[in-house]
Structure 1
Amino acid sequence: MLRWGIIGAGGVAKRRTIPGIIKAKGARLRAVMVRDIERAESIARKFEAEAWYDRAEGVLEDPEVDVVHVATPVYLHREFVLGAAEAGKHVLCEKPMALNSAEAEEMVEACRRAGVVLMLAFVLRFHPGIRALREILNELGELVLARVQLLKYAPRRPGEWRLDPRLSGGGVLMDIGSHALDLLSFLFGEVEEVWAQVGNRRFSWPVEDTAHVGLKFAGGGFGEAFVSFGVPGMGKFLEVYGTKGSAFVEAESPHTQGWRITYGGKVVEVPPADLYREIAEHLARVVGGEEEPLVPGEAGWYNMKVLEGAYMSAKEGRKVPISSLPVA
């Protein structure tokens, strides 16, 4: 039974992670932390956690916490992942992993030295639609183009940390774009080259609200990711074009809804799943030695390198070979 401690228990952790942990086999919510102690107590009592803290050190020093979920703003990920590793606790870190690939590598190496599991919360890898899609891919022949789009209307309040690139690392590309790029590399392998454009189509933010990224895969074929916080609807979110056929995946919210996969005149309806419950149960099996991590820390580090390449391309107006990026 893995006992969980949550650093940053508001936001996504309160909406998704904690409810998933509560329903998961082999998991129990031990402690929550937010900066306001009264709010921390309220969250703890709502979800029947045994302890609550207003400082991250409370979770890290709690001897009854086995695994830490780092669900803070991005600029704090490195600090708390390193702290968890030093405390000998396993880690689930929210995406994007860090502000840059140098931080990400440091986090991977710290957890490796400490002998603890580090996983990233790229939840789309856990959707049953991925398993269904992988069974279909061979029927499509060689990859020509795979396209992911993640679109939503997401205005921000002035002063939010997400609008400060020093705290967030960037805008929509760092945020939901990290999901899109991870999904493409998970399905189609190593990225050889990346090119991108970023900008603001809806909001006057200091970070981008829209981004378009192109990829060349080392194994052949191309990828494309289009992400925006200024578009109210999505429809198809994944398209795969192959030499023998094509597949299309529809879901307005692929994290929370079922997927409708259409290919070769066939339709596959994939029901939704509680993805954080899936993650919690998987992590318990990983720690128990039954499975290998589906999203190891190295996947987050690699994702950061692709993101860095995309931002470099957008800034310099050129294609960026991923292998040319410095190893952190």
Structure 2
Amino acid sequence: MKNFALIGAAGYVAPRHMQAIKATGNQLVAALDPNDSVGIIDSHFPDADFFTEFERFDRHLDKLRRANHDKQIDYVSICSPNYLHDSHMRFALRSGADAICEKPLVLNPWNIDGLLEIEKDTGRRINTILQLRVHPAIMALREKVQAERRDTKHEVDLTYITSRGHWYLQSWKGDVKKSGGIATNIGVHFFDMLHFIFGELQNNIVHVSSDTKAAGYLEYEHARVRWFLSVDFADVPEVQRNAGQRTYRSITVDGEEIEFSGGFTDLHTRSYEEIIAGRGFGLEENRTAINTVAAIRGATPAAPTGDYHPFLRK
């Protein structure tokens, strides 16, 4: 049994990590969040110690480590706001634990270089949750693409709209310095998926970039991709909107819809199984996706001509 600590226990994704820790037969020893709305812990680990101040959390983990206690921490799971991931991973490694970090790993590619140095200094490892890489449908598509012999690239359309209310822009997620912006916050795992399936990134053009939506064109070794991301309910197609849907997700490859809506419920558990077995995705596996979103964040949008997403015609 491995012992876990969790940073960001009140966050949206934290329950998936708690479930994954429990489902893999491990123990949550301590959790941290400045917000004390963390009753969900009782459903998984009611005996876990909880802290609202980082300094007390730090002291507690240090005492466990120095006392060679049977509850000393093996892994620190990080579900904090995006801009704090880098600092919290450094803390985990310096505390003698491996890190398991939610996406995005970091906001900028140079942060990866610094973390590589700390891995070397401490002998500990950083793992990340790239859950789409362990999705059966995505893995099957990757195998199919790799096995093909073709002279032309695949034509891909990626559309992801996940409506958010007025709270979104008032939270840290609406602050580009803290979240990295819309492409980073809701798109980074899709960009990693595209790289995972279609190879190295060759071209990156941005057509739209705002607080609530972004769109552009990406070209990989084996694919040409038109992409559109949004948290604006008005972007949900009319048919789905009239049916009461607030989310719309579509990925087509050469005009064929890739169905991967199912199988999402246990992807964190599957990721944890791989990490504990020593097969987690590390720092370098994140580099292309982080380079992609950092370039999107810094780009000046070009006029949507040529290969642009069909939603931009509206």
Do they superpose with TM above 0.5? yes
Equivalent of 1:118, from 126, 129, 133?
126
Residue 33 (str. 1) matches residue 32 (str. 2): yes
Secondary structure, in 3 states, of the residue corresponding to 2:300?
helix
d(CA) in 2 for partners of 1:7, 1:89 = 13
Question: Corresponding residue for 2:117?
Answer: 109
Cα 1:193/1:73, change in 2 over 3 Å: same
Residue 2 (str. 1) matches residue 15 (str. 2): no
Summarize deviations over 1:147-181 as a string: whole Å, max 9, x none: 322221112415311111222222x2111111221
**Unmatched runs of 5 consecutive residues or more in structure 2:** 66-71, 241-246, 305-314
Residue 151 (str. 1) matches residue 161 (str. 2): yes
Summarize deviations over 1:218-272 as a string: whole Å, max 9, x none: x34322322111134566622222xxxx642135xx4xxx1xxxxxxxxxxxx55
Equivalent of 1:52, from 50, 53, 72?
50
Equivalent of 1:187, from 187, 192, 197?
197
d(CA) in 2 for partners of 1:177, 1:199 = 13
d(CA) in 2 for partners of 1:88, 1:30 = 15
Question: Corresponding residue for 1:303?
Answer: 289
d(CA) in 1 for partners of 2:110, 2:172 = 21
d(CA) in 1 for partners of 2:204, 2:161 = 21
d(CA) in 1 for partners of 2:222, 2:142 = 17
Secondary structure, in 3 states, of the residue corresponding to 1:175?
helix
The TM-score with structure 2 as length reference comes to: 0.79
Q: CA deviation at 1:84?
A: 0.9
d(CA) in 2 for partners of 1:13, 1:236 = 19
Q: CA deviation at 1:317?
A: 7.4
Question: Corresponding residue for 2:244?
Answer: none
Cα 1:33/1:315, change in 2 over 3 Å: same
The TM-score with structure 1 as length reference comes to: 0.76
- Look up the equivalent residue of 2:224 and give its one-letter code: F
Equivalent of 1:165, from 176, 197, 203?
176
Cα 1:236/1:28, change in 2 over 3 Å: same
Q: Contact 1:6–1:71 at 8 Å: present in 2 too?
A: yes
Summarize deviations over 1:124-151 as a string: whole Å, max 9, x none: 1121222232343335845332332222
Summarize deviations over 1:30-74 as a string: whole Å, max 9, x none: 2211114x545x444332243222234516534321111111111
Equivalent of 2:258, from 246, 249, 252?
249
Residue 237 (str. 1) matches residue 246 (str. 2): no
Q: CA deviation at 1:279?
A: 1.2
- Look up the equivalent residue of 1:165 and give its one-letter code: V
Equivalent of 2:81, from 73, 86, 111?
73
Q: CA deviation at 1:108?
A: 3.1
d(CA) in 1 for partners of 2:157, 2:170 = 33
Cα 1:86/1:188, change in 2 over 3 Å: same
Equivalent of 2:186, from 176, 189, 193?
176
- Look up the equivalent residue of 1:9 and give its one-letter code: A
Secondary structure, in 3 states, of the residue corresponding to 1:192?
strand
Q: CA deviation at 1:94?
A: 1.4
Q: Root-mean-square deviation (CA), in Å? A: 2.6
Q: Contact 1:181–1:225 at 8 Å: present in 2 too?
A: no
Q: Percent identity?
A: 23
d(CA) in 2 for partners of 1:115, 1:135 = 33
Cα 1:105/1:39, change in 2 over 3 Å: same
Cα 1:250/1:135, change in 2 over 3 Å: same
Summarize deviations over 1:70-93 as a string: whole Å, max 9, x none: 111111111111111111211111
Secondary structure, in 3 states, of the residue corresponding to 1:155?
coil
Cα 1:144/1:83, change in 2 over 3 Å: same
Q: CA deviation at 1:20?
A: 2.1
Secondary structure, in 3 states, of the residue corresponding to 2:9?
coil
Equivalent of 1:212, from 210, 215, 218?
215
Q: Contact 1:196–1:310 at 8 Å: present in 2 too?
A: yes
